[in-house]
Amino acid sequence: MALNLEEHRLYLQDRVRLAAYRAAIKATVRPGQTVVDLAAGTGILGLLACEAGAGRVYAVDESGMADLARDLARANGFGERIEVIRGNAFRASLPQRVDLAITDQMGRFGFEAGLVQLLADARQRFLKPGGVTVPAAIDLQIAPVKCAPVASRLLFSDSRPGGFSYRAAQEVALNTGYPITFRRDDLLGAPALLARLNLVEDRAAISGSVSMPIETRGVLDGIGGWFTARLSPAVSLTNSPLSACAINRRNVFFPIARTTPVENGDVVRVEMKIMPANLIVAWRVEVRGRDGALRARSSHSTLRGMLLSGAGLNRLKSDYVPRLNRWGEARRAVVNLCDGAHAVSEIDAEIHRRYPDLFASLEQASVFVAEVVTRYGLLPPAGDDARGSQRYVAPRLRVYHGFAALTPGREPLEDPEVFGIAPPEG
């Protein structure tokens, strides 16, 4: 089974998740209202909206799941009411403003799947004045936890795989968040609310600080995190290990530098700052005894856990003057040939002719061209051959919000290692 479909199968099998969304959508949608389902996947939330009486649903997804969502809408009798739009939700355009935006882009800690930015953009570009989002708010919750199975794997300084030292990897390991499913008895104290996100605006940063008393003697390995989403005034959704009705979604574990024995009455203080758009989390943890004496302190950031090369970072300096390498030149050539006058087969042949050092065969050039055309080419008129076909004639670049497709902005950053020439040393 395709991995992408398998992921969605697991979502569809989560009865708690489906029941919560069904109840929230039924309570929110009014007959005849318009809805946008963002990052729709199989389109299940759009189907629920139609079931609740929506007159029109726009299901937006940039993956191949969009075609399956269209088939599923037709198979369930909603083909006339659900319009599937294949494209990135940040770039897509809708024929009209809508009453409701729905999505399930919460990840494991409530933000890392793009929820904050996605709904802020939807509110600005898609929703009518007074429009509603599902979810409407997210609570980020944390607790002191024991997590020996993961914590023991992070101690590269205490092991020598293959007889070699891997101490240099410990810095990365201790500055990474790990997906895990906590049990109730993994918590050493009651959870605390780190931050509450009312999803009405884009937030560049989320921050919070909490103090949590230890209630169970044990060894503190780090901080556990999860979320509770308010889907409607009466319906919530959570992956909390304390909930008897948690959805089937893992939590996240943030390690500390040294595991620390703790006693009842000790206090764990956590300061956390999150940059949702960059998927960066920084956490500072202090452990103090009942007498107030400091027992442990550590600071971490997923930025320090990212495997960023020095050369790549040099390319991001404000005074770096970039020039394209050969791969970048080849990509620019494909973009320039998407002028509405050249067929894909002609572009393939021209790129192979210009860059024989990069593409040993026409087939290799075709794969490279297809990646550019399928990402940036306008859809052919109805009835024409699909993009990527040798007979797909005259692809043109899409334009997003008035800017060409390669304009920086919402376009994902290409790896500077691939298309940029390295700056001089130093």
Q: What is the pLDDT of residue 314?
A: 73
Q: Rounded to the nearest 5 degrees, what angle is found at the Cα of 238, between the Cα atoms of 237 and 242?
A: 135
Do 219 and 295 reside in the same domain of the chain? yes
Same structural domain, 295 and 320: no
The answer on 349 and 412 residing in a single domain is yes
> Which parts of the chain have pLDDT scores under 70?
1-3, 155-158, 202, 310, 312-313, 379-426
pLDDT, position 426: 45
**Residue 250 and residue 156 in one domain:** yes
What does the pLDDT read at residue 254? 96
Q: Which domain holds residue 371?
A: 313-419
Residue 196 belongs to some domain of the structure: yes
Residues 7 and 97 in one domain: yes
Residue type, 324: L
Q: How far is CA 296 from CA 96, 117, 261, in A?
A: 56, 35, 10
Model pLDDT, residue 157: 61
**pLDDT at position 389, please?**
52
CA distance 219 to 274: 26
Q: What type of residue is 364? A: Q
The reported pLDDT for the residue numbered 211 is 97
Same domain assignment for residues 300 and 378: no
pLDDT the model gives residue 10: 85
The span from the CA of 337 to the CA of 275, in Å, is: 38
- Provide the domain count of the chain: 3
CATH assignment at residue 22: 3.40.50.150
Asked whether residue 124 is assigned to any structural domain, the reply reads no
